[in-house]
Each structure stands twice: as C-alpha cells, then as structure tokens.
Amino acid sequence: MDLNKLTIKQAHQGLKKKEFSAVELTESVLNRIRKRNPEINAYLTITDELALSQARRVDKRITNKEEIGVLEGIPVAIKDIILVDGIRATAGSKILDNYIAPYDATAIKKLKKAGAVIVGKTNQDEFGMGASGENSAFGSTKNPHDLERVTGGSSSGSAAAVADNQAIYALGSDTGGSSRQPASFCGIVGLKPTYGRISRYGLIAFASSLDTIGILAKTSEDIEIVFNAIKGKDEKDATSVNTDDEIRNSKFEIRNLQIGVPKEYFIEGINPQVEKIVRKAIGQYEEMGAKIIEVSLPHAEYALACYYIIQPAEASTNLSRYDGIKYGLSEKGKDLLEGYLKTKQKGFGHEVRRRIMIGTYVLSSGYYDAYYLKAQKIRTLIKQDFDKVFEKVDVLMTPTAPTPAFKIGEKATDPVSMYLSDIYTASLNLAGLPGVSIPIGKIGKLPVGLQIIGQQFDDEKILKIAKLYENSIL
C-alpha cells in the first residue's frame, strides 16, 4: 500500500487500527518528496528531522493506548509564506532567503496542538504575487499532470505536493485565488475561507484586507477536518472572528437547495470545454434535486481592475518593511537611501517590483482619489451584488479558472493575460466570501475545477455541498 496516497481520514483509520505507524506514514511521504521534488520543485525546505520527531511522539501515544485525534501523525506541507518556528520562511523571495521564523503562525500552533507532522515548506510565487507558480525566486513548480505546464499560483508548491502525493494535505494562502486556482489546475480541493475565520497571525502580509490562509487536500472531507482544527478567533489578529456560537445553520436538504449561476461568468474568453464540464457538474446537482437559477452580478466585470488596484496598493505598503535593516537581505550603500534601494533591487523579483510601483502610483498625491478611492467604492458595489444574489439563492457555482493549466512560459511576457487567470476568484476576496474549488473532470489529462461560493460564514455549508458531488461520483 502506498501510504502517501491516503486521505486524512484513511490515514487516521490506519493509524488507529495499527495497520502502520506514524513514522512509516511520514517516511512514505518523505520518500516520495525525495524521489519527485527534484523534478516537480514543490518544496523549498524539507523538515524531515522535525517531521520524524513529531511522528515518533504520536507513535508513543498509540503504543500507550492513548486516543489520537484525526490529524495526529498526518503529514502536512506548509506554504513558505506561513511561519513555522525555527524553520526558514522565504515567501518565495530572495529578500528573505535566509530568514528563520522566530515564532509559529496561529494556524501552525493549532496544527501542532492537533499532532500534525510538518514535512516541509512549499514553493510559491514571490510574496503570493502570481497565478502560475512561475514568479518564485527559486524556480517554477511543475504540474504533476503535465510537467510542461504550470501548477497555478500562488500556492503552487502546496497544490503540487498534494496532487503528487508528496503530502497528505497542505496549507496555502489565498489573496485573489491563490488556493482555489492551483487546486483547479492540479485536480485537488482548495478552500478560501470567509475573511476572518482563520487567523492571519504569522502569515507574511501581502494585501492585508484580502489575505486568507487557504487549505488544499484530496477531498472536501479532509478540508473540513483541517478547517475545524485551525479556524476561530485569535487575540493576535484583530480581524479574526469566532462564529461558532452564532453560525448560520449549515444543514440543508438538496431538494430545497437553490444554486445561482452568474451569467457574467460564462462569457467570451472561457475555454468551451471548461464551460461544458462545469455546466455538466452543475447539472448533476440539478439531478440530485437542487434548483438552478441564472443570476446576475452586474459589477463582476470590474472586479479584476478593482482587485489590481487595491492589492498592489496594500502590497506596496506592506513590503516597505523590507529595508535591509530589521531582517532579511541587507545590501550596503554609501548612505541609508542607497542601502534601501540596493537591497530592494537585488531582493525583489520583477513581478513584485511591478506591483510595488503600481501600488505606490495609485496611492500617490493626485491619483489616490482617481484610482484607490474609486476601487474601494467599486469593491462595495461588488459586495452588494453578492448580498442581493444571496437573497434569492443559497450558493453560487462558477468555473474556478477560465482555462485548464497553461504551458510554462506561455503568459510570462503578458501580465494582463496572466492576471485574467484570477477573473473568477478575485471577487470573493474583495467581498470576504468563502469559496471552494473541487475537481470535476479533465480536458485530456488536465483537470478542471468547479468553484462553489457561499455567503459570509457559510464555509461549512459549501464544504457539505462539495461533499455531495464527491459522494455522487464515487
């Protein structure tokens, strides 16, 4: 049995029944990493010593006949933008090449408490800026389904690790689609939670009003298990929320479910085969008894432009902390300013520099009102569109991405074409809504994902709806 191919639930059952040990499960994953990572480039740091010590601790508990939790002894990969105490955290950038995290992110603390086994830190687009995995300072991650194609981004390594069985599950981040889009390209499940449901403490900041920690796994059930372990209010993150006591009832009957299909998401530019596969999957929900309703999100066409003003503006502010004085790369100059400039020039890649310049421009005197303020007003209209639609329907279903995975280098010289990869995902980050991408078919060997969008705090509900599809095709 290839233990690295198991889901969280299957691995947990095997550990409980003593069919294998946590060390054997971890070794199976580490062996897969050693064999495949040189080709896939999913991991930047492999933490085998940490992983095996965590696994041995779980085996000791099993030997002592103690009850183990569902995540105990299960190997997980962590995106390199999330801090793990004592482990290198690069965020995919040369500017943090030798940075060692001095503390655990809240999500990592919770995973460690749950007994998770951390096998390594995964590759990513630099600071989360990218939709392909090609913007890492440490080389592109390759799609396990076709090594000539991208994984999607920015959680490229996390998605590839799960898809290639180099991890049982992984944490990523999602600022404009960074967990859902690579999940779609790699044929796995990816969750972007409601903004605030998972603490951002210890997540290296990119665009603070959009950033969330995402989860990538082989099934929706696995996502649900991890989500329940790491969600919740955190005193170290003022934007985090605890909704468990007042959460909207996530129970529903499929025959009463009203599914909205936004007409603006099925327009020119979408790959016809992607549309066909997505509509077929939505049709399966209809066969189960759900009602399908065409809806309109009139401001959807402005979401991408709005996102690519707000996100660079926040990035330019957040990334100003990398000055070579406090931490990370430090280049000397004849004076302080030259030191700053040399550090940033050498440390930041092309895409990061491009977004810093755009962000600084839209926040500058004379342009703030014309760009940034206007984008914030449009953001409000986009949120209101979703609020109105959710008065009529329970969830929305859309493609996750307009195309399957494209070839490495295909869009590298065309940033606008690259940015269009976020066309169906970025609006959820602007509105703070939860979304999950599930695999629903393939074009040749390339996976296609369906995005299920819920109301604010309906994370549990969309995962239950995702599980319905998985159960119907098993």
Q: Which positions are annotated as active-site residues?
A: 79, 154, 178
Q: Which residues have C-beta within 8 Å of that of residue 380, sequence separation ≥ 6?
A: none
For helices 350-363 and 303-318, the axis angle rounded to 10 degrees is: 100
Tokens 């090594």 locate to 147
For residues 154 and 157, give the distance between their C-alpha atoms in angstroms, rounded to a whole number. 8
DSSP 131: S
For 350, counting Cβ atoms within 10 Å of its Cβ (0-12 exposed, 13-18 middle, 19+ buried), the class is exposed
- The first and second tokens of residue 374, run together, are 């206007």
**Residue 33: in which H helix or E strand, if any?**
helix 22-40
For residues 242 and 362, give the distance between their C-alpha atoms in angstroms, rounded to a whole number. 34
- Give the Å distances, CA to CA, from 194 to 198, 214, 242, 422: 8, 10, 11, 18
For residues 419 and 416, give the distance between their C-alpha atoms in angstroms, rounded to a whole number. 5
User: Which residues does residue 142 pair with via DSSP β-bridges, in sequence order?
Assistant: 150
- Give the Å distances, CA to CA, from 353 to 94, 129, 135, 320, 330: 13, 10, 12, 11, 17
Strands (E), 345-454: 395-399, 435-443, 446-453
